[in-house]
Every structure is written in C-alpha cells, then in structure tokens.
Amino acid sequence: MERYFSENVECASREEITKIQSEKLVAQVKHVYDNVPYYRKKMEEKGVTPDDIKGIEDLHKLPFICKDDLKDAYPYGFLGVPKSEVSKIHSTSGTTGKRVIAYYTKEDEDIWYECCARALTAAGATKEDVVQVAYGYGLFTGASGVDGGAHAIGAMTVPMSSGNTDRQITFMRDLGSTILCCTPSYAAYIGETIAEMGIKPEELTLKSGVFGAEPWTEAMRKEIEASLGIKAYDIYGLTELGGPGVSYECYEQKGMHINEDHYIAEIINPETGEVLPDGEKGELVFTSLDKKGFPMLRYRTKDICVLNKTKCSCGRTFVRMAKPMGRSDDMMIIRGVNVFPSQIETVLLQEGYKPNYRIEVDRKNNTDTLDIYVELNSEKFSDTVKGLEIQEKSLAGAIKTMLGINPKVHLVPEKSIARSEGKAVRIVDKRKLID
C-alpha cells in the first residue's frame, strides 16, 4: 500500500472522523483563543469561550473569519506562534486584489506536504514517478505545496516553475515526466503548444496531471486530457488554509475529497451565514484543525459549491466537494442575472471552440452589455464575413440558452488572446472602474 494513501483515516467511518475532528477542534480553539488576540476579541463579542466548544457540534457557535478580518489584522494579527517558530511564509496571488500573508511552522509545513502527497498519490504518483511542477515558485503556494508532496513521496521532482513553455516541453520529453502539475489554463496552453510542435500525446510519457488553483470545467478537463494524453485530476486549496491539498480528486473524478483529519468543511448561506444541510449549494467555510502558525477558524472562502458525504467507490470516506463554480467575487450580475465565467466556458467548449476567451462587461445607456471574445478555431474557420457572422450568432444563441441573456460574440484571430501561465484572468468588468 502506498505510504500516502492513509487508509486508516481516508477511509475511516464517520464516527471516527467526527471523533478526530472534535478532539482537534477543542485544542485548536484554545490555541487560537490564547494566541490570537484579534480572534479572542471576536469570540468575546459573540459571548463564546473555549469551554463552550466541546466538539464539532459546537462549531456553529464560533465567529467567522472573512478576508476583511485578515486585512484588518495584516500583517501579523493572525500569527498564532512566536515569530521564531515560523519556518516559511506564502502569500495569495492577489487575484481579488487583497493580499494575505500566511505563516507556517515546521509542523504546519509537514502536514501541508502530507496533504499534497495524498493528492498526488490519489492521482497515481509513486516513488517511481517524475513529477514536473509547472506552478509558479515563489510567494504563491501552488508550487511549494505539490513540490513538498512529491518530495514526501520520494518521486523525482522537477521544479520548472511556470512559463518558458518550450523548455517545459523539452524537459518533459528528455526526462520522461509522468505527472504534470500546474494550473489548468497552463496545462491547456502546454497541450496547444505540443500540438503546434507536431508532437503527438502518445510520444510523451505523461500519465496524469494534478491541476488546480483556479476554476475549470468538465469540458476543459476533456480538452486537456485529449491534448496531453493523460488523466487530469483536480486539486483545491487556498493560501489562508495552507495552499493546495485541502482537497483532491481520486480516479473516480467525482468531487474532491477533503482532508478531513486536518480541515472541517461547512456550507453556509452567504447572505445570512446560516449553516446549510448536507447537499445544498452555498459558500464553503473551513476550519483548519492543526495549523498553528496561521490558524483559521470558520474561514469564509467565498467559493460556491456543494458537499457530498456519501462513500466514494474509491473507498475513501472523506467528504467530497464539487468543483467550485467560481468564487462569489467572480460572479457577475449582468442585467440582474447571476453569471459565472465557468458557464460560458462550458458552452464554448461544447460548441467546439478552444478555452481561449475574454469576457467584457460594461454598462451603456443604463444597460449592462456582455461581450465575449473567442478565438476562431482553424477547424471551424470561415473565410467569408457572412460565414463569420453566422458562427457568431450561433454561438451567441447557445450562450443565451445557458445564461438566459444575450451576449455579443466576437470571433477573433487565433493566438490573439493572451495565454495564461498561472491563473487565467478572463473577465474585464468595466462597470467596476466607474463605481
């Protein structure tokens, strides 16, 4: 049995998981109360003390932590240990504009790498593999986490970092990389470049990929799997909770198993904060049970998704989270309708276009406008203006069926939309510039 398939916990009964979580929660609340004055104050305001928390059934009594709290307490307000105990820091990529700095003790690091090692193991990694890490190294958590996980497994780890795509492909071929780790948008770009170079997926030794750090659709998964000749696994995480490895997919690819011996997940109504019953869609909230350097109790992620507690056919009992649709921050309200970029991406790929697109939202004469720029696909190429217009109208119609609102589609030349080597930025909301 693989070292990082921890069957005793990953397949434990619900009672056993609850017991582990309850014991750790009681200790973690005390740790935070004693060491993080900012959160102690929040507990006092809510009239809760560590004595009120006897197990996970009391979790709902604790106050939430939001991104704004982290901003208020920046930089050291949520540090849970003396600075001399900190071995590492990371920072959010600032996708939503607000940077967060997270701190790790040596033990926090080891637990994080263990979580990533479980994710890689679930994607088929063993000591025999060559793991190419093409997430950006540096402040961003993506590379460090999977690098640490691959080291823990003892796999040969190739620290490429992101970018320099030709060199990625050269190393991939020369070293015989078997597992690729990067953002899904970068994986798609690497796949596209391989095709352009005339290399067939079967000429590569890749068998799987572990892709995360941004939302991606099932359609995108199929595209990547075909272009690289691999099985593509999803991995989820966020800086506030350590980074990637909070949850990961198994070969069933039906939701990401949350490392429940280290995290408790809740789904809440984002408007009211009320905890929602199993199976309902809402905002994900996480409590980290072990992290001492930057301990998060009831951290609101803004990610919208659904949890599934049924046992997976892979044998794991850890609860599964659906692919997040995107964060509530990414949700655009256009003419009163909620729109996620992932919905548009699904239609584009279904209609045979590549995942290279840009969404522009603006407001003209008090009406929201939605413009979608999509690259022409050489297979669907039409060389007449009339032909182009027909294609644009047909794609706009398909998107309207999905969203309920009419976009304006612009087919633009191939390669005219910038490719992403990290997290893709797909939305330009010009309305926000005016607000």
Residues that bind ligand ADP (CB under 6 A): 92-96, 141, 212-215, 234-239, 301, 303, 323-324, 327
Q: Quick one: what does residue 208 bind among ligand ADP, Zn ion, none, with the CB cut-off 5 to 8 Å set by partner type?
A: none
Residue 413: CB minimum distance to ligand ADP, A? 29
DSSP 193-232: HHHHTT--GGGS---EEEEESS---HHHHHHHHHHHTSEE
Q: Which is nearer to ligand ADP, 209 or 212 (CB)?
A: 212
Q: Which residues contact 386 (CB under 8 A, 6 or more apart)?
A: none
The torsion defined by the Cα of 96, 192, 253 and 156, in degrees rounded to 10, comes to -90
Query: 176 near 130, Cβ under 8 Å?
Result: yes
From the list Zn ion, ligand ADP, none, pick the one residue 29 interacts with, judged by a Cβ distance below 5 to 8 Å according to partner type: none
The interface with Zn ion within residues 131-160 (CB under 5 A) comprises: none
The DSSP result for 127-190, as a single string, is TT-EEEE-SPPSSSHHHHHHHHHHHHHT-EEE---S--HHHHHHHHHHHT--EEEE-HHHHHHH
Choose the contact partner of 238 out of ligand ADP, Zn ion, none; CB within 5 to 8 A by kind: ligand ADP
Cα 267 from Cα 286, distance rounded (Å): 9
Sites for Zn ion among residues 309-338 (CB under 5 A): 312, 314, 316
**Please, which residue, 178 or 239, has the CB nearer to ligand ADP?**
239
**Which among 248, 250, 278, 249 is positioned nearest to 262, based on CA atoms?**
248
CA-wise closest residue to 254 among 351, 368, 382, 122: 122
The site partner of 316 among ligand ADP, Zn ion, none (C-beta below 5 to 8 Å per kind) is Zn ion
Phi, psi (deg, nearest 5) at residue 423: -85, 130
Of residues 312 and 403, the one with the C-beta less far from Zn ion: 312
Do residues 179 and 131 touch, judged by C-beta distance below 8 A?
Answer: yes
252 binds Zn ion (CB under 5 A): yes
CB of 97 to ligand ADP, least distance (A): 8
Q: How far is the CB of 161 from ligand ADP (least distance, A)?
A: 15
Find the part of the chain contacting Zn ion (CB under 5 A) among 129-137, 246-254, 345-353, 379-387: 246-254
Residue 284 binding Zn ion, by CB under 5 A:
no
Minimum CB distance to Zn ion smaller for 1 or for 433: 1
Q: Which is nearer to ligand ADP, 162 or 301 (CB)?
A: 301
Q: Which residue sits closest to ligand ADP, CB atoms considered?
A: 95
Q: Is residue 332 within 8 Å of residue 363, measured between CB atoms? A: no
The interface partner of residue 210, options being ligand ADP, Zn ion, none and the CB cut-off 5 to 8 Å by kind, is none
If contact means CB under 5 to 8 A according to the sort of partner, which of ligand ADP, Zn ion, none does residue 93 touch? ligand ADP
CA nearest to 14, candidates 56, 71, 49: 56
Choice between 171 and 251, CB closer to Zn ion: 251
Beta-sheet pairing, 408-412 with 179-182: unpaired
Binding residues for Zn ion (CB under 5 A): 250, 252, 312, 314, 316
